[in-house]
Chains A and B, each alone.
Chain A
Amino acid sequence: MTGASLGAGGAAAEDRVAQRLHDARAMFGRSLHIRTVDTGSCAVCESEIRLLLAPHYDLHRLGLFFTPAPRHADMLMVTGPAVRAMDTALQKTYAAMPEPKIVIAVGACPLGGVYPEDELAHGSLDRVLPVDVFVPGCPPSPLALLQGLLVAVGRLSEKVSGESFVGSSPGGLDL
């Protein structure tokens, strides 16, 4: 476990991440176990994550499972602005997970949208862990979380389609 932030590592680090993600995706396409950690959320992201197991969304049908043990986990799902008081617990959880592993950041807090970097919080998760997928939203709905999970394991492309709203590109609107 390096725990190095992405920003500092440069291109080499990015290659490592890309390789790791590729390995993980190949391995986890059909079955993935998720461990959650809260680093100072407002409790609403937790509510949405719990609903992933509810009948409306039923995570299990996709071969995705939550696990209470980091040693059984392939993916770390983190909420909150990476409060510094959680540093030890977060790093220990990450270190206990076997390689290869994926980190998914849930909500606006770990994206840096709510708290700035200061003495109390890192402000965004990628300052302390190599984040593979960010799921934006405050909170992201269970459907957004599903989308993020499927992107993380390579079963869905990040963009479903790209089209311009203005101009004469195919599918675009002529305004």
Chain B
Amino acid sequence: MSDIGARETTPGDQGKAGLGVTQFTLEGRCREREDLVAELARAPGTRLADFFGDVEEGGLVLRLVYAIESGERAYKMLDWPVVGGTYPSVSDLDPAAFVEECEIYEQFGVRPEGDELLNRLVVPPHAGHEFPRLGAAPPREGREPHAPHYVTGEAFEFPFGPVRAVAQESLYMGLVTSGEEVIDLYLLMWHKHRGLERRLRGMSLGKALFLVERAEGLSAVANSWAFCRAAENVLGVVAPEAVERARAIALELERVYNHAAAVAALCQATGLSVGQAQAEIALEELLRVNLAAFGHRYLFGTVAIGTMGRPLDEEVLSRQLPQAYGELRRVIESLWSTNSFMDRLEACGIVTNEQARRLGLVGPVARAAGCDMDTRRDHAFGAYTGSVVNVAVRERGDVLARMQVMAAEAEESVRLIRELARVGPPGDGRADGAGFAAPGQETAAGRGGSALGWCESPRGESLAWLSLDPAGKVRRARLRPGTFRNWRAFDDAARSRNVFTDIPIIEASFWLTVAGFAR
């Protein structure tokens, strides 16, 4: 890539290797950037992982994060200063960028060249110029393909939400149907926008971490670990081995309970009360393991910068986890032989391999569509550098394939936990938890810089890019949970020859959160 006139710099405090992020600042003309983006879009083993805006002194800079997954295996960042209020469309070259282009338009008021319709993401339709954003509001009201949505002919639109079934997150679904078949579907998620990235600006790292965890509580460990890794790289903090191991154990516990919850939701969606009750017993037992091991049912406060926010009681893992996971395995095994359940899953909500690649999907949704990817293996970090992670991949791309991937991943997570707990003498994590009060707050002063952190959440690759000002406060923090990537395939999955009652099944198999998307 460096032969296209790019100036190579390392981010953050120069020369601190370890995170493997290379940053390119392109000084050349726009045409060259476009060529580079086009080339990267075609390159095998290269994937556009994130795309976001950042206001610097010179104006808006767009940052493209690429994951290189063949050969050198690294994350590379391409900086693209915006000149003249617009930029050549990235989604024309790499369709995975479309949602991010919409986001950049909403947050910074800068749209790609051309007249393509942009979707509404998190700014409500009634919001005006004064609505709080990361940058300037769009100069004119953007046209929207959806909402108000006019449907003619045989079809009509069935509005559903934002208040939905019992204890479901707020989400508006526009279901276009002719009676039973789902012809089209669109989602509105602005009801849950809390402006997290904007709130993080100017915060100390300790405070920021508190909000990062609450961006998406069901991926709290993954998102906060990605954020902490970015912060640690900027600050030059290296977490002790025992801390890295305890974090990995927390991450795997998070994966197991999430997959158990997805199985319970699948049973509920298919009307299988017995299976649901059994899966919920497993889920509750797994949450109690979390509580006993780390002191929080959803593992909040576990990951801190350079240390553990909560000590790990490793004994719990051998005493309680096998029984709790045994419950889950029993349910899943009975489900495999329940025909009424399996019939609903097969050929339902298909995401093809081509869709998964074009849309840049991650996690179980992508793996169930034949994409062999997992950041724990492809960009090994922390305790994963020393262990083998077996990645489950299926080809069919339907709900059944997603459930098979989740079942295999839960099994693998429990194996990893056993392996990680065996490595060191028990109690190591606790001994290292001496500096409980996030040391970032003190050490951050005087260290500016930026870095990328990543992690594999139960929903897929979670990224966090952090830039600190010289005072050690957050200048810009970009959070990109796996959820943010995967919702974009939901309408495709729902349209693929499905009927109304398949929608909750597909939603359960994706197991995403609205909170993580709308942030």
Contacts and interface: CB of A to CB of B under 8 A. Distances in A.
Give the interface size class of chain B. 35 or more
Interface stretch (B163-171, B398-406, B447-455): B163-171
Contacts of B297: 48, 139, 141
Contacts of A42: 213-218, 220, 513, 515
Contact of B515 (A41, A54, A141): A41
B277 A54 contact: yes
Contacts of B167: 36, 46-47, 49-50, 66
A173 interface: no
A70 B162 CA distance: 13
Given A55-B277, A141-B297, A68 B515 contact: no
Contacts of B165: 68
Given A38-B168, A47-B218, A93-B163, A139 B298 contact: yes
A114 B214 contact: yes
Nearest to B297: A141
B131 interface: yes
Interface string A39-63: 1111111111111011110000000
A74 B193 CA distance: 28
A118 B191 CA distance: 15
A68 B161 CA distance: 12
A68 B170 CA distance: 13
Give the interface size class of chain A. 35 or more
Given A83-B194, A85-B190, A120 B163 contact: no
A167 B272 CA distance: 56
A85 B163 contact: no
A119 interface: yes
Contacts of B162: 86, 89
B195 A120 contact: yes
B283 interface: yes
A85 B170 CA distance: 11
A67 B167 CA distance: 10
B432 interface: no
B130 interface: yes
A50 B192 contact: no
3 closest A-B pairs (Cβ-Cβ)?
A44-B217, A54-B280, A42-B217
9 contacts: A41-B169, A43-B516, A44-B298, A47-B261, A49-B166, A49-B167, A54-B284, A68-B165, A120-B194
Interface string B156-196: 00000011011111100000000000000000001111110
B481 to A, nearest CB: 11
B301 to A, nearest CB: 9
A40 B516 CA distance: 11
B279 to A, nearest CB: 9
A138 interface: yes
A83 B170 CA distance: 11
A125 interface: no
Given A42-B216, A70-B163, A119-B130, 17 more contacts: A36-B168, A38-B163, A38-B170, A42-B218, A42-B513, A46-B168, A47-B217, A47-B261, A49-B167, A51-B284, A53-B166, A54-B281, A85-B193, A86-B191, A114-B214, A118-B132, A138-B214
B231 interface: no
Nearest to B162: A89
A121 interface: yes
Contacts of A148: none
Q: Please indicate which of the listed interface residues B163, B167, B194, B513 has the most CB atoms of chain A within 10 Å of its own CB.
A: B167
B335 to A, nearest CB: 17
Contacts of B284: 51, 54, 56
Contacts of A55: 277, 280-281
B300 interface: yes
A37 interface: yes
Contacts of B190: 85
Q: Please indicate which of the listed interface residues A42, A54, A85 has the most CB atoms of chain B within 10 Å of its own CB.
A: A42
Nearest to A52: B167
B514 interface: yes
A158 to B, nearest CB: 24
Contacts of A46: 167-169
Contacts of A43: 169, 216-218, 513-516
A37 B356 CA distance: 32
Interface string A9-44: 000000000000000000000000000111111111
A93 B261 CA distance: 27
Contacts of A85: 124, 190-193
A55 B276 CA distance: 10
B214 A119 contact: no
B132 A115 contact: no
A130 interface: no
A81 interface: yes
Q: Please indicate which of the listed interface residues A36, A41, A70, A139 has the most CB atoms of chain B within 10 Å of its own CB.
A: A41
Contacts of A81: 194
A31 to B, nearest CB: 17
Contacts of B515: 40-43
A38 B169 contact: yes
Interface string A129-152: 000000000110100000000000
Nearest to A49: B167
Nearest to B214: A42
Contact of A138 (B163, B216, B300): B300
Contacts of A67: 166
A89 B163 contact: yes
A119 B300 CA distance: 27
A40 B163 contact: no
